[in-house]
């Protein structure tokens, strides 16, 4: 399959994806579904080189902060990056890596947005719903919304995310993907950030491993 699509096909794909996001936004659970304190938390990220996506998932034990398992897979990139439609580009790569880990994950962290999204359904919502996992979106940049003085982020007057800041670090933007409250999501992410780091540890390692895989690419 080609790595790019023509203008007409692109418009059709975007329209279909937009409808999917609108439908899935109604399925997002904004309540805590965890029956216990999470022990195994997974972070997943994707790096790119040429037309290949390198996806890494890292499972961390929260009691020891040590890595339990990591999986890496590569796949061809089919769709371009379009702001607001990251699920179109990354969801398949993420799902291929996550399915073998599904039963071991208590909470999933995704480099992307959850309900902090124009249609209240970012990549973290879509993947979280499909896997039926408590999921948190942790993004490095803000897609939409208004950041208030208390660091809450509003869309249409409703709190949809939180800007987490640390000394001498760029902020990160936390939102619910599925199966958690925003308060719990912020608490979990905050507890996983080591001193002097910007990202929660599972996501930091996934980010590092995916980039390492991409750098090793031989053209």
Burial 12-33 (b: 16+ CB within 10 A, else e): ebbeebbebbeebbeebbeeee
Handedness of CA 11, 23, 126, 96 (dihedral sign): negative
Residues lower than pLDDT 50 in the chain: 1-4
Instruction: Look at residue 218 in the predicted model and tell me its pLDDT.
Output: 64
Task: Please report whether residue 2 resides in a domain.
Answer: no
How is residue 201 written in tokens? 């540890």
Task: Please report whether residue 52 resides in a domain.
Answer: yes
pLDDT digits (tens, 9 = 90+) for 159-197: 999 999 998 999 999 999 999 999 999 999 999 999 999
* Domain tally, the chain: 1
CA distance 112 to 107: 15
How is residue 181 written in tokens? 């409250």
In sequence order, what E strands does the chain have?
A: 40-49, 52-61, 66-76, 107-110, 135-139, 146-147, 152-155, 158-164, 172-178
CATH code, domain with 27: 3.30.2170.10
Task: Please report whether residue 172 resides in a domain.
Answer: yes
pTM: 0.93
Task: Please report whether residue 205 resides in a domain.
Answer: yes
Task: Please report whether residue 59 resides in a domain.
Answer: yes
Task: Please report whether residue 1 resides in a domain.
Answer: no
How big is the chain by its Cα radius of gyration, in Å? 17
Close Cβ partners of 215 (under 8 Å, ≥ 6 residues apart): 49
Distance set, CA 89 to CA 13, 26, 155, 189 (Å): 11, 22, 24, 25
Domain that holds residue 167: 7-215
Instruction: Look at residue 58 in the predicted model and tell me its pLDDT.
Output: 98
């Amino acid at each position: 399959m080609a790595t790019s699509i023509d203008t007409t096909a692109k418009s059709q794909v975007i329209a279909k994806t937009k409808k999917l996001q609108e439908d899935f936004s109604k399925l997002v659970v904004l309540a805590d579904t965890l029956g216990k304190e999470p022990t195994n938390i997974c972070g997943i990220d994707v790096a790119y080189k040429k037309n290949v996506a390198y996806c890494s998932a890292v499972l961390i034990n929260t009691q020891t902060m040590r890595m339990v398992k990591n999986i890496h897979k590569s796949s061809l990139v089919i769709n371009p990056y379009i702001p607001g439609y990251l699920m179109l580009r990354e969801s398949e790569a993420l799902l291929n890596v996550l399915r073998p880990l599904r039963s071991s994950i208590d909470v999933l962290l995704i480099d992307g947005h959850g309900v902090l999204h124009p249609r209240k359904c970012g990549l973290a919502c879509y993947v979280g719903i499909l896997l039926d996992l408590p999921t948190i979106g942790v993004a490095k940049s803000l897609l939409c919304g208004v950041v208030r003085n208390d660091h809450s982020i509003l869309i249409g007057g409703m709190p949809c995310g939180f800007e987490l800041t640390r000394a001498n670090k760029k902020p990160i933007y936390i939102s619910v993907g599925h199966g958690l409250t925003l308060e719990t999501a912020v608490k979990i992410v905050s507890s996983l950030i080591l001193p002097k780091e910007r990202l929660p540890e599972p996501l930091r390692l996934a980010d590092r491993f995916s980039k390492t895989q991409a750098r090793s690419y031989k053209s």
